[in-house]
Amino acid sequence: MASQETSDPRSRLRADARRNYDRLVVAARETFQARGGDATLEQVAKAAGVGIGTLYRHFPSRLALVEAVYLEDVEALEAAATESTSLPPWEALSGWLEGFVEYAMVKHALFAELAEAYGKDSTFVSHCRELISRASALVLSRAQEAGVARDDIEPPDMLRLVHGVALTPNPDPDQVKRMLRVVIDGLRADP
């Protein structure tokens, strides 16, 4: 089983190894998004422009790579919520939700593997769920306090609505954007 640590494994790497690690994570994200659960490690290595041995040096198993991509995406969502505090509350909320939809579209392929390996209530999955919960609460509460978002919705409600948009079968990117706009408009407080 892959390590469930949340410390940054890149901090111990030489610069060239860190670049390979980062390229592998980016390539994995793109490959998993394009091919779903059928993506192979060989396809990821090829997309990253490295050999399969380099992939295995960084990620001894498929699960380790899936975990790295998933955690990096969750941490990026948390960072985006924190960084959005410099934006107007409505802009922060809608921008964060757009990022969440992108994350959820990739996450769908990865979560099944993580849940199967660890269980839905594992330490790793619970940690990721907590980070997303805090991030969504931050952007929604700021918008509610500013009076621009409905006060009768809670973060889990908002996440379920937006998650439904992200899981549209065979998504057309333009359709996903339109549906997300409808959901976001539905979060807006009455003038």
> 167-191 pLDDT, tens per residue?
887 778 888 899 999 999 999 998 6
Q: Report the helix count and the strand count for the chain, using DSSP H and E.
A: 8, 0
The answer to whether the CB of 65 falls within 8 A of the CB of 44 is yes
* Domains of the chain as residue ranges with CATH: 9-60 (1.10.10), 62-191 (1.10.357.10)
What lies within 8 Å, CB to CB, of 46 at 6+ separation is: none
pLDDT above 70 coverage of the chain, percent: 92
Q: Does the global pTM surpass 0.95?
A: no
Q: Which of 122, 189, 128, 132 is nearest to 155 (CA)?
A: 132
Structure tokens, 183? 């959901």
Q: What is the pLDDT of residues 62-78, one digit of tens each?
A: 999 999 999 999 999 99
Given the structure tokens 């619970």, which residue do they identify? 126
Q: Which of 112, 75, 81 is nearest to 98 (CA)?
A: 81
Residue 130 pLDDT exceeds 50: yes
Q: What is the pLDDT of residues 86-117, one digit of tens each?
A: 999 999 999 999 999 988 877 776 777 877 88
Q: Which of 150, 151, 147, 152 is nearest to 186 (CA)?
A: 150
Integer Cα distance of 134 and 140 in angstroms: 10
Find the mean pLDDT for residues 40-54: 96
- At residue 13 the predicted structure's pLDDT band, cuts being 50, 70 and 90, is low
